[in-house]
Structures are given as structure tokens and as C-alpha cells.
Structure 1
């Protein structure tokens, strides 16, 4: 039986989403800095990267996008983007840490998205789609805006890691009363996080056509 939590689950979910928002904003802003965009461009791409996946998720589940109803999300994205713009020389030397944070953001957004899909009554496969798009949507928008082929289509186990975690949540939901909601979520988050980091470490890639 899952131990009771003194903290309101909705608060934990909010914190997880805000952390993921900050991480993805930093990722988007870093890509914009690498393209030598000005302050406005860095902030725009950082905010879109941070909020894009969540907005796609909310549209798919027919809910009002949080970016339009909760000021904390755009504020966190804005602050994180400005931070990267100001301190990018130091952050560029912290690339390994940024990759770790990006993996954490992917895990958090994917699991939260999948859980929300299930809560809205979606079938397991549909909830998994919602979760994956929630995790990778912001990164796709970022790469398109900086005129690159989206990373999820060309390198590493990025979307694959998200899909594995989403499937764990979707299938495990049938035994949630035994496993416990938070235990299941933590297992899925840890799986995405570890798979992503191992893929980076060993340069795993999906098969590509041979020429």
C-alpha cells in the first residue's frame, strides 16, 4: 500500500511542471544563443520551447492551456530564458549538467502528460501519445524555429525514452491501486531519465537507412 503524503499531490504536480518548464526554457534559450539571436529571439524561443509541449497536451485533452490561465508558467519560462541570455558563457561549460536537466524535464513532462491523458478518460494508447507529445513538443518547436531538423527525428533515444515511460504509466495504471500512484510515476520518471542518459553516454541511435 502506498504511504500517505503530507504534501498535496496537486502541489507536487505543479512543482514538477514548473521545474520542467524552467529546464526546457533554458534548453530553448541555449539553442537560440547558439544561433546568435538577440534578446527578443532568445526569450521567444525559450518560452515556446518551455510551454509548447504543455500547450499541445492541453489542446489534445480539450483543456485550457495553462500558459493562458496560470501566470506562473510563462513567468518561469521568461526568467529562465533571461538567465541563460545573461550567463550563457558560464552555462556553455556546463553542457553535461544541461543534458541531465533536459532528461529530467523530458521525464517529468512525459509522465505528467500521460497521467493527465488518463485522468481525462483517454484510452491507454491515446494517453501515451499525449504524454510523448507533451515531452517532445517543445523541443520540436525549438528546432523548427532555429531551422534545424528536430532532434527527435535524427539522434539519440529521445522520443523512444519518452514512449517507454509513457507506456509504463499507461499499462501500470491498471494496477495503480496495488503499486500506488506516486510509486508508478516515479518508476516511469526514473526509467525515462536513465534511458535518456544511457543513450547519450553510449550514443544510441535508432536504425538509419544505409547509402
Structure 2
């Protein structure tokens, strides 16, 4: 008989983040009129894409290959959207809410995993950002949209700011769970404030004018 293991706080964050990101992907796929299978694939890619890239870079087996929980979480998200589709799909803020929650949770999960494997803080911040933002890039490519991180909105930069906040909390010897909550909250608050007050990064402008001979 396999003994039951109580999920750690990071595991719980990972599961919630998977559910949130899967819903954000499935919701956008629904808006694009994807069928159920297509929507599930988009949701799954959104949920595991960033973590897979992170694990490959960290030279460990991708988490979804060691447990079916990510596939199950995505399936639950799929049925959630099917059951409450008329409310979820029509709400303009639904995508933003679930995407921002997933972004915050996955950033901390990625940073925590990198630190646990002995990598320095700057690698942890990069891995946290990849975990949070890369799934959204894959999602946007699948639904034929310009990836959100390539637009002027504060997206991946929110991951960086949250990752730094998380690391600073650890340096101040705060409890790990407290540091995780603070770091994730910083990502979420940064994203919300950036959208609410239209705070953007400077746009790199090139010379698009044609010069006559």
C-alpha cells in the first residue's frame, strides 16, 4: 500500500497555478471556437509549458512526467469551463484574473525549485520568470495571437520583480511560506497595478520611414 503524502505548500501553489493557467488557456481557446480536444491541449500547454522549459534547463525530469496530477488539473479546469462556460467565457476579466494568479504562483514555484536544487538567486529569478511567462507564450502562439510578453504590458517583468521580492524575504530570514506568499503577492499586485494604471515599459522604436533616393 502506497503511503499518503501530504502535499507541501509549494505543491499546493503548483496545483492551484496549474488550474488557473489551464482555465486561462481554455477560456481563450473557447473564444477562438476550438473543439474540446483543442481547448484541452491549449490549456495543458499553458499549464505545463513554462515548467517544462524550466525543468529541461535545470536538467531534471519535467514534473508532469512524474505525476498525472497536471493532466488531471487541466481536465478539471476543462470541465469547469464547460459547466460554467456562459459565465466564464463572457466575463472580460476572467482571463486576466486566472492568468495573473497563475503567473504569480508559477513564478514562486519556479524560483523555489531552482533554489532547492542549489542554483544562485539570479538563476532562480530567471527560472521563476520562465515558469510564469513561457506557458502564456505557448498559449498565445497556439491561438495565433502576439505573445503577451512581447507587447508593452508589464508581464514577465512582474515575475522578475516578484522573484526579487521573494529572494529578499529569504535573505531577511523570513519563513519560507511567508516569503512565498509575499513574492507571489508582489507579482499579482504589480500586474494588477500595471494594467489598472496603464503602466508600460518603453517601446523600442526603429526608423520605419522610407528614405527616397
TM-score, normalised to structure 1's length? 0.88
Q: Deviations over 1:164-184 (max 9, x none)?
A: 0111223443333xx221222
Superposition pairs for residues 1-211 of structure 1, below 5 Å? 10-176=7-173, 179-210=174-205
Mapped to 2, the partners of 1:90 and 1:21 lie a distance apart of 20
**Structure 2: 5+ residue runs without aligned partners?**
209-213
Greater Cα shift, 167-176 or 146-155: 167-176
8 A contact 2:110–2:131 mirrored in 1: yes
Cα offset, 1:16, TM superposition? 1.1
Query: CA RMSD for the aligned pairs?
Result: 1.9
Mapped to 1, the partners of 2:167 and 2:6 lie a distance apart of 19
8 A contact 1:51–1:74 mirrored in 2: no
Cα offset, 1:122, TM superposition? 1.0
- After superposition, the Cα gap between the structure-2 partners of 1:184 and 1:9, relative to the gap in structure 1 and judged at 3 Å, is farther
Cα offset, 1:10, TM superposition? 4.7
Structure possessing the higher radius of gyration over alpha carbons: 2
**Structure 1: 5+ residue runs without aligned partners?**
1-7
Mapped to 2, the partners of 1:119 and 1:184 lie a distance apart of 14
